Structure 1
Amino acid sequence: MSASLDDAAPSTRVDRRSALPMYDQLQRALLRSIEDGTLQPGDLLPGEHRLCEIHAVSRTVVRQALGMLEHEGAIVRIKGKGTFVAPRKTSEHLAGQLMGLHEEVAARGGTITSDVLRHETVPAPAHVAQQLALAPEEDVTVLVRLRHVDGEPWSLSTTWLSPRLGALLTGADLHTASLSRVLEAHGVRAVSGERAVEAAMTDEGEGELLQLGPQRPVLRLTSTTTDEAGRPIEHFVALHRGDRSRFVFPVSRGPEAGHLLHLDVDRAAADRAAAE
């Protein structure tokens, strides 16, 4: 892959006469190589010294450019092995449709498993009691799961249910089972709800579980679903890795064909979330 970058066209090289900082130019050049397929997911990038030679820039410039690409999730650094092009983000539709991650992954032929980190009855936090139409500090069942897609940590979800519905989980294999399918087996079916997507940053614990590290961008999906009678079923908050997921929403205007709106966690959005 180094040879491909060695043969890069002059237009992709750093221009010292440009008003753009050299690290910004280098970052854009490397990103173009990823986007046009010159660099493929999993490819090893040339070392810092070789990048300095190719683009005739200092190591400081190279490190700044690589730092920006790593922050955006375009590359990953593995200690002792080098810097690699990150896997492409997976388009997920669960933010705009009434489905769970289990159904989303199964639909694309993947395998999902869950580590159950917490499963107990606790007094409902104020915002959860409001969403589930419960009295303040009324008991709720809380379920915290680290979700793995094809063996890779993918999302960290916290789900709250009323004790009546939480009791239906007794005996269920929550390591492999779909929560919605477990509830549907007992006649509880979600037919409506509201979901919101926000940019967020991991704290130390979240970053460790998701294998991202602290202060890394994630997509925070918040959802409340209701049954046919309008009764709340569950309220959950899920953090999806910003370097693996992007949420896709079908939109349309009247009878016209819909378009796809892609929402990615970008550096600016993540920085705004961190400043809140």
Structure 2
Amino acid sequence: MATDAIDRRSAAPMYDQLRRLIVDRIHSGELQPGDALPGEHRLCEQYGISRTVVRQALAQLEHEGLVERVKGKGTFVARPRTSESLVHTLEGLYDEVERRGGHVHSEVLRHERTVADAEVAAALEVPIGAPVVVLERLRYVDGEPWSLSTTWMPEEVGALTLGADLRESSLYRLLGEHGIHATHGVRSAEATVATHEQAQHLGVSAGSALLRLRSVSRDDRDRVIEFFLAHHRGDRSRFEFQLNREQSQAALTRI
């Protein structure tokens, strides 16, 4: 970056000129994901601009998802977010990532029989206290913590999964081997923030943005076969929706 790269005669604000210079370096590959940007003081010296201008530029880049600012460490080029279609399809994370050439590994945190509380019972359409199987996994995509998911299944469905090694395989494929296939259901996504426990698992700070996915899936007999809650890192995931005029079935829920 040259010290005369900021054009003081331009109508464009200086912070936006600096933002564009950094964006150009990212798009050209000169700056790679994970690379550190020069510190605020260094940028001020390089361009002869104030710290206020530098902070405005970095704040805009952070808002655009191009950089990440880590307290006490500096500003880094952000890793690109991965598009996911998990909201509008019945695919699981394993199948979604495999389809685009990635790799999913799961750390199984819990896989056992338990009893349904009120929320789980309502979702699975079973009595409160009914036996169910719970599967809690920390999902890694290409070696990086990606999501924390908990799946509950009715006992007759979940029993088929007990003892199976789900670290490198798909739950949906396992169920499919037993003739159980999700054919329809309801999924929703909402913004939330990481609890202390979630943050520890996902490698983020408590209070960081997460995307919360909630799903209830049914088979061809209209039987509920699973209910899951998944928390995805907001800095790594982006959900995409395929829209068309003929199949507009989205609903806006007011809470």
Q: TM-score, normalised by structure 2?
A: 0.83
Q: Distance in 2 between matches of 1:55 and 1:124?
A: 61
CA offset digits 1:130-152 (Å, max 9, x no partner):
11110012121111100001110
CA-CA distance at 1:76 after TM superposition:
3.3
Q: Distance in 2 between matches of 1:72 and 1:209?
A: 26
Q: 1:27 to 1:241 in 2, by over 3 A?
A: farther
Q: 1:106 to 1:85 in 2, by over 3 A?
A: same
Q: Tell me what 2:107 maps to.
A: 115
The yes-or-no answer on 1:187 pairing with 2:185 is no
Q: Tell me what 2:146 maps to.
A: 154
CA-CA distance at 1:75 after TM superposition:
2.3
1:175 to 167, 177, 200: 167
Structure 1: segments with no counterpart, 5+ residues: 16-21, 259-275
1:10-29 alignment to 2 at 5 Å? 14-15=13-14
1:232 to 218, 224, 231: 224
Q: 1:92 to 1:58 in 2, by over 3 A?
A: same
Q: Distance in 2 between matches of 1:5 and 1:110?
A: 41
CA-CA distance at 1:128 after TM superposition:
1.2
Q: Distance in 2 between matches of 1:4 and 1:126?
A: 63
CA-CA distance at 1:52 after TM superposition:
2.1
CA-CA distance at 1:47 after TM superposition:
1.6
CA-CA distance at 1:163 after TM superposition:
1.2
1:99 to 74, 91, 100: 91
Letter in 2 for 1:131: A
1:198-237 alignment to 2 at 5 Å? 198-237=190-229
Q: Distance in 1 between matches of 2:59 and 2:237?
A: 20
Q: 1:174 to 1:84 in 2, by over 3 A?
A: same
Contact 1:27 1:69 in 2 (8 A): no
- CA RMSD for the aligned pairs? 3.2
Q: Tell me what 1:7 maps to.
A: 5
CA-CA distance at 1:42 after TM superposition:
3.4
Q: 1:55 to 1:215 in 2, by over 3 A?
A: farther
Q: Distance in 1 between matches of 2:191 and 2:213?
A: 9
Q: Tell me what 1:273 maps to.
A: none
Percent sequence identity is 49
Q: 1:93 to 1:58 in 2, by over 3 A?
A: same
Q: Distance in 1 between matches of 2:91 and 2:46?
A: 48
The yes-or-no answer on 1:74 pairing with 2:66 is yes
Letter in 1 for 2:45: E
The yes-or-no answer on 1:47 pairing with 2:27 is no
Q: 1:234 to 1:12 in 2, by over 3 A?
A: farther
CA-CA distance at 1:71 after TM superposition:
7.3
Q: Distance in 1 between matches of 2:179 and 2:144?
A: 32
Considering fraction of residues, name the structure with more helix: 1
Q: Tell me what 1:126 maps to.
A: 118
Q: 1:124 to 1:148 in 2, by over 3 A?
A: same
Q: 1:115 to 1:247 in 2, by over 3 A?
A: same
The yes-or-no answer on 1:244 pairing with 2:236 is yes
2:79 to 80, 83, 87: 87
CA-CA distance at 1:127 after TM superposition:
1.6
The yes-or-no answer on 1:135 pairing with 2:135 is no
- Identify which range, 130-139 or 151-160, moves more after superposition: 130-139
CA-CA distance at 1:36 after TM superposition:
5.7
Structure 2: segments with no counterpart, 5+ residues: 249-254
Q: Distance in 2 between matches of 1:34 and 1:192?
A: 45
